[in-house]
Amino acid sequence: MEQWQTLVATALMGTGRQAPTPPTGEGALATTLSQLDWSQPEQAILGAAGAIALHQAVGQQPQQQDWQPIEPGSTEHFPIIAPSIARHLETAIDNDPELLPELLTLIAQTQQRIPERLLPRLLNLGQRHTELRHHITPVIGQRGQWLATRKENWRYGRVGDIQSFNPNAPEAQELWHNGRQSERLLFFQRWREVDPDGARAALATIWPKAAAREREGLTQILETSLSMADEPFLEAALDDRAPSVRKAVVQLLIKLPESRLCQRMATRLHQLQASDQQGLLSVSAPKTYEPDWERDGLPKRVPAKRGEQGWWLEQMVAAAPLDIWGDPARAMAAIAKGRWQHELRAGWELAAQRQKRADWADVILTQINWPIAGGNQQKRRTIRQLLALLTPSRREHHLQAQLSNNAFHGDWLELMSECANQWTLAFSQVVLEQLTKIMIQRGSTRYSAVRSFLDHFRLTLHPDLAPEVAQAVAELPAKTNSMHLFERHCFKLIETLTIRREFWQHFQVGLDIEEKS
């Protein structure tokens, strides 16, 4: 517009250099501009700018866009959780995400979903914490899956829950073939949960074109619902061109005692063992490396400070079926004086974890040397993994036995704090007793350790212990002058146990952990 261009030119030059003149012309705009006081040039320019801008805006038509209609979400299958649980969920999302795995698992197990108002916050949390995604996707319902298609960072939510999962649906196939790698991995995991054979068949179709990193991730997910039906595919994948993929394949095959890889290890060991007249088991270590071992995941190069023969023997034992040794107690006794007993024991420990053999784990834990705090971290990790294979009663039996063997109960509590298992009510009472003792006896010198214990035990102690914990905390000031150092953490322990107790009672979960396992 000519008036606007003239006005801008005058403003740029400055009214001191070029005095503005009233615009000429006909029409409502020219009439309005002529009524301004042009003897005051600065005020007149500002008034003219406002009038011209308003004149340009009046009567303008909005830009037309041919928007595609948005498909509505599907009908919900599950009811929304109760308002009281929703409030706890909201608090956990904002302030205590460590509570979410247990709470979201309970919601999913009871086939309920979260309120719509919490969907954006939970989906955002899953965007930042990828370890929570497999807990989040089953509880967001159809609305959550619908929302997940509307924002790039929420796309992982399209996987949905097991009940509504349909890998053959068009949107599911689009995700499988064109989704991000992280989405495809989560989708494949859900597929393995619903239809292991169908998921493996689909994997075989994309395997040749998938990148090595994705092949490795998809292979690791095959552990979900792993069975001998997967063995032919995995055996062929031992020849994959990527070392990382071959390593992931080996880690799965050694968990299948009947696999051809494990049977080859058994054959190699059979050539190395013999029994004497007293029934003692004599096992010799391999003297030379054979080229075909590498395909089965046994590299020629050994770790530093390890002898070749002992290392090779240990790896063979760890990958061979445990059944070739017969009864675990007899096998442990039969090697008591053998040269390679330490390598055999270490191999059996690994094999028990891989093959999930509770009978072997039970015997090993009876005879193993339990490290004290600050001891062998690898051994402590082995103990935790073996304990996880047992029923709660056997697990707590072994831990109870160690309590009497520890001169300082702080070491025992440290071992408890490393275990992720939830404890029965009876054993939780034992843990509380020891925790109370150490707060009274050691005072501020154990503050950092006690704080760590309290923060961990709030997620593993039995929720029904909440009243007893509250009573014990109330009695502490009379027994120690260091209560002020632990007070905040003690109250957090009581608060968390109380909230978890409400979870369990609301969802009518059997409060006997022995039954849960």
Q: Which of 229, 228, 253 is nearest to 240 (CA)?
A: 253
C-alpha distances in Å from residue 372, one per residue of 135, 415, 456:
35, 8, 19
What local confidence, expressed as pLDDT, does residue 514 receive?
45
| Domain final position from 235, 256, 277 | 256
For residues 507 and 416, state if they share a domain: yes
With a CB cutoff of 8 Å and minimum separation 6, the contacts of 454 are: 435, 486, 489, 490, 492, 493
For residue 401, tell me if it sits in a domain.
no
Rounded to whole angstroms, how far apart are CA atoms 124 and 108? 19
Domain of 146, in residue numbers: 83-157
Rounded to whole angstroms, how far apart are CA atoms 453 and 439? 11
Rounded to whole angstroms, how far apart are CA atoms 136 and 138? 6
Phi first, then psi: give them for residue 283, nearest 5 degrees. Answer: -125, 125
342, 380 Cβ separation under 8 angstroms: no
For residue 248, tell me if it sits in a domain.
yes
What local confidence, expressed as pLDDT, does residue 35 receive?
79
Q: Output helix, strand, coil percentages for the chain, rounded to the nearest 5.
A: 65, 0, 30
Which region, left, alpha or beta, applies to residue 387 given φ > 0 means left and ψ of -120 to 50 means alpha? Answer: alpha
For residue 361, tell me if it sits in a domain.
no
Rounded to whole angstroms, how far apart are CA atoms 289 and 312? 8
For residues 442 and 418, state if they share a domain: yes
For residues 141 and 225, state if they share a domain: no
For residues 248 and 198, state if they share a domain: yes
With a CB cutoff of 8 Å and minimum separation 6, the contacts of 516 are: 509, 510
Evaluated on CA atoms 213, 214, 217, 223, the torsion sign reads negative
List the chain pLDDT tens, one digit each, 517 residues: 566 677 777 777 777 777 777 767 777 777 787 878 777 878 887 888 888 788 777 767 777 777 777 777 778 889 999 999 999 999 999 999 999 999 999 999 899 999 999 999 999 999 899 899 989 999 999 899 899 888 888 888 887 766 677 888 888 888 898 888 888 898 899 899 889 999 999 999 999 999 999 999 999 999 999 999 999 999 999 999 999 999 999 999 999 999 999 999 999 999 887 665 555 567 888 999 999 999 999 988 888 888 899 999 999 999 999 999 999 999 988 887 778 889 999 999 999 999 999 999 999 999 888 765 555 678 888 888 999 999 999 999 999 888 876 555 677 888 888 888 889 999 999 999 988 888 877 544 467 788 888 899 999 999 999 999 999 888 877 777 677 777 888 999 999 999 999 988 888 754 444 444 4
For residues 88 and 147, state if they share a domain: yes
For residue 357, tell me if it sits in a domain.
no
What local confidence, expressed as pLDDT, does residue 40 receive?
81
Rounded to whole angstroms, how far apart are CA atoms 353 and 397? 19
For residues 413 and 503, state if they share a domain: yes
For residue 362, tell me if it sits in a domain.
no
What local confidence, expressed as pLDDT, does residue 295 receive?
94
What local confidence, expressed as pLDDT, does residue 500 receive?
92
Evaluated on CA atoms 436, 441, 443, 445, the torsion sign reads negative
Q: Which of 189, 186, 149 is nearest to 170 (CA)?
A: 149
Judged on CB neighbours under 10 Å (0-12, 13-18, 19+), 24 is: exposed
401, 363 Cβ separation under 8 angstroms: no
Show the tokens assigned to 30.
């020219």
For residues 138 and 188, state if they share a domain: no
Q: How many domains does the chain have?
A: 4
For residue 425, tell me if it sits in a domain.
yes
For residues 428 and 457, state if they share a domain: yes
For residues 179 and 240, state if they share a domain: yes
Q: Which of 108, 129, 98 is nearest to 420 (CA)?
A: 98
For residues 92 and 176, state if they share a domain: no
| Domain final position from 157, 181, 207 | 157
What local confidence, expressed as pLDDT, does residue 414 receive?
82
What local confidence, expressed as pLDDT, does residue 67 receive?
73
| Domain final position from 229, 256, 283 | 256
For residue 307, tell me if it sits in a domain.
no
For residues 418 and 464, state if they share a domain: yes
For residue 371, tell me if it sits in a domain.
no
For residues 177 and 115, state if they share a domain: no
